Amino acid sequence: MTGQSLQSAIDEMGSAVEVLRNAKSRPFTFPVTPEFTNWRSEQAAWRDSCALLDQSHHMADLFVSGPDATRFFTWIGTNSAAAYQVGRAKQLVAVNHDGYVIGDGILFHLGENSFDLVALPMLSDWVEYNIASGGWDVSLERDDHSLIRTGDPRLFRYELQGPNALAVIEKVTGAPAPELKFFHMGEVEIEGRTVGVLRHGMAGQPGFELWGPWADAAAVHAKLLADGAEFGITQVGAKGYSSANLGSGWVPSPPPAIFQPELAAYREWLDLSKAGSFGGSFYSADIADYYVTPYDLGLGRSVSFDHEFLGKEALQRHAENQRRTKVTLVWNNEDVTRVLGSILGGGLPAKYIELPKSRYALFQTDRVLVDGRTVGVSFDVGYLANEQAFLSLATIDLDCADTGAEVVVLWGEEPNSRKGQVERHGQVEIRATVAPAPFTEYARGGYRAA
């Protein structure tokens, strides 16, 4: 924590864009082992065998319970009121008063008026603030991520992904896998311990999420590794894990729409250290140009107008005037090779491309062009060894979004920002081809369709 509010920093610098573009915050990294073997083989595990990913450390848990808990989450989320059922989870999407995205996370409905929201800070902070300022009859316990928490997590959370995930579950439990629909929850026994299980999909493959008290973490983890060995279970480190969303099409950190005048009190409450940072070639002096709607990000399936919620009226207008859609951009091999090679020899290099995840700011925003005209924004970016492709997730104008269409991604900043992650470099154009999002075939036809 800096002890300075986001609003105070904006008042000093005169612009929210300048605060975020030149943020001194360190790049966000998953606080787990970077690689157990190598990230290429670890990526291959979710396609060929079974990947074990540790989700215990990089997101916050907000445990919310009390008489108003269900009513609160129905009000703050765009999701259908009918979907709030015990034993189910949902991708909770929250928007501001003008219908622009604040953030999204996974909401577990544990019991009557009892929830666990697992999310990145953009949504966790928004939920915590609205509970504290709204007079809701609920209690809230926050277990933050391991970069700022003191001590162990409250829960362990492990993800099994890949074609052998089902076999691993049956081996470690000694019983048939629970018959759960997508995003439904149940329980299994592992080493005499009760473990929660969510039927889930990530990295474009089928899987399960397992959780339980931290005291049981080591025993459950050891059992998974021992019994999963015959099925090729592979631990995936932070490098491989951070790239998993590229195949499944989830944009993890779009810029949050928290800069309207009516949200000044929230920005006064929010510590500057939680504000994040802008990186990339997209630049506008108007912070509102960075905002996106749920429809821009492919989150329209999580919007239902069957209940009253924050931003409903504005979001209805967005629904009637959808301008952009989410796509995958497949970056041109020759152009990427040229940029990677620019660090060798003389001359001004392009912005460094780190593999496998090449996002260098919390909110990566690169300009997407057609004939020199801005038609969208590219967000998360990186390399998938399974596909041998360099990809980004983007939102672009509908008339440019046909599969196979050619666009250009502008890579690098002009002028260079003052972030510590940004070295002196030159901007370059990289050709790209529009592809579906999700990119992987299983994700498109499997769990995303569900």
| Separation in Å, CA 327 to CA 28, 59, 166 | 24, 26, 30
Q: Quick one: pLDDT at residue 206?
A: 67
**Would the pLDDT of 278 be above 50?**
yes
**Does residue 403 lie within any of the structural domains?**
yes
Based on the fold, state whether residues 243 and 364 are members of the same structural domain: no
**Does residue 299 lie within any of the structural domains?**
no
158 closest CA partner among 241, 226, 230, 36:
241
Based on the fold, state whether residues 48 and 176 are members of the same structural domain: yes
Domain coverage including residue 218: 39-58+150-248
Distance CA 267, CA 29 (A): 24
Q: What band does 3 get if pLDDT is binned at 50, 70 and 90?
A: confident
**Does residue 291 lie within any of the structural domains?**
no
End-of-domain residue from the set 218, 248, 278: 248
Mean pLDDT across the chain, nearest whole number?
94
Based on the fold, state whether residues 324 and 410 are members of the same structural domain: yes
**Would the pLDDT of 115 be above 70?**
yes
Q: Quick one: pLDDT at residue 440?
A: 78
Distance CA 139, CA 270 (A): 20
Vertex 321 angle, CA 319 and 326, to 5°: 75
Based on the fold, state whether residues 344 and 195 are members of the same structural domain: no
Task: Record the tokens describing residue 39, joined without a space.
Answer: 């990230």
Per-residue pLDDT of 193-240, as tens digits, reads 999 999 986 555 668 999 999 999 999 999 999 999 999 999 999 999
Distance CA 218, CA 223 (A): 9
Task: Record the tokens describing residue 121, joined without a space.
Answer: 């800070």
State percent of the chain over pLDDT 90: 88
Based on the fold, state whether residues 329 and 434 are members of the same structural domain: yes
Based on the fold, state whether residues 193 and 334 are members of the same structural domain: no
**Does residue 236 lie within any of the structural domains?**
yes
Based on the fold, state whether residues 168 and 49 are members of the same structural domain: yes
Based on the fold, state whether residues 325 and 419 are members of the same structural domain: yes
Per-residue pLDDT of 394-432, as tens digits, reads 999 999 999 999 999 999 999 999 999 999 999 999 999
Per-residue pLDDT of 21-69, as tens digits, reads 999 877 667 888 999 999 999 999 999 999 999 999 888 999 999 999 9
Vertex 205 angle, CA 104 and 91, to 5°: 15
Q: What is the CATH number of the domain that holds 328?
A: 2.40.30.110
Q: What band does 447 get if pLDDT is binned at 50, 70 and 90?
A: very low
Task: Record the tokens describing residue 320, joined without a space.
Answer: 């009637």
How does DSSP classify residue 119? E
Element of type H or E holding 92: strand 89-95
> Is 21 in contact with 285 (CB distance < 8 Å)?
no
In the chain, the N- to C-terminal Cα span, in Å, equals: 40
Amino acid at 290: Y
**Confidence (pTM):** 0.94
End-of-domain residue from the set 203, 233, 248: 248
- SS3 assignment, position 106: strand
Based on the fold, state whether residues 344 and 244 are members of the same structural domain: no
What does the pLDDT average to over 55-84? 95
Q: What are phi and psi of 342, to 5 degrees?
A: -70, -15
Based on the fold, state whether residues 324 and 241 are members of the same structural domain: no
End-of-domain residue from the set 248, 277, 302: 248
Q: Which residues of 62-85 are buried (b: 16+ CB within 10 A; e: fewer)?
A: bbbbbebbbbbbbbbbbbebebbe
Q: What are phi and psi of 437, to 5 degrees?
A: -130, 120
What does the pLDDT average to over 144-156? 88
**Does residue 76 lie within any of the structural domains?**
no
Distance CA 232, CA 230 (A): 6
Q: Quick one: pLDDT at residue 255?
A: 96
Total domains present in the chain = 2
3-class SS shares of the chain: helix, strand, coil, % to 5: 30, 30, 40
**Does residue 161 lie within any of the structural domains?**
yes
Q: What is the CATH number of the domain that holds 174?
A: 3.30.1360.120
Based on the fold, state whether residues 53 and 191 are members of the same structural domain: yes
**Does residue 225 lie within any of the structural domains?**
yes
Based on the fold, state whether residues 50 and 196 are members of the same structural domain: yes
Q: Quick one: pLDDT at residue 382?
A: 97
245 closest CA partner among 102, 119, 146, 393:
393
Tell whether omega for the bond before 178 is within 30 degrees of 0, i.e. cis.
no
**Does residue 107 lie within any of the structural domains?**
no
The lowest-confidence range among 53-57, 289-293, 312-316 is 53-57
Q: How many residues does the chain have?
A: 450
> Is 375 in contact with 369 (CB distance < 8 Å)?
yes
Q: What band does 360 get if pLDDT is binned at 50, 70 and 90?
A: very high
What does the pLDDT average to over 78-96? 95
